[in-house]
Amino acid sequence: MYFDSEEIYNKVDKMRLDRGWSIYYLANLAGVSENTLYSWRDRNSSPTLYLIEGLATAFGISPIALLLKEEDIVAIQEEHKELFERWNGL
């Protein structure tokens, strides 16, 4: 499975805007610097696992939910959804 850095950034940015959060606020929630987010956007670099985990925590979702496309999430079998829900509870 291939993860598109730009797609993930766009998903993160949409969720940020939907919540009315600034990049500064999201960076603080995720435990990273604003420059990390700007660098990811401007250089189209790949996000680190640390960044993905921080962003997922900030949004209250699992890292895998942040990485997968919406149609991929829907396609996951019921037993996998249960595992993801348990992961979120950890």
- Residues with Cβ < 8 Å from 11, sequence gap 6 or more? 66
Task: Read off the pLDDT of residues 7-31 as tens digits, 9 standing for 90 and up.
Answer: 899 999 999 999 999 999 999 999 9
Residue with the larger pLDDT of the pair 89 and 9: 9
Please say if the pLDDT value at position 1 is more than 70: no
Task: Read off the pLDDT of residues 25-64 as tens digits, 9 standing for 90 and up.
Answer: 999 999 999 999 999 989 878 899 999 999 999 999 989 8
User: Which tokens go with 28?
Assistant: 């603080």
Q: What does the CA dihedral 24, 4, 66, 84 come to, rounded to 10 degrees?
A: -160
- Tell me, what's the pLDDT at 79? 64
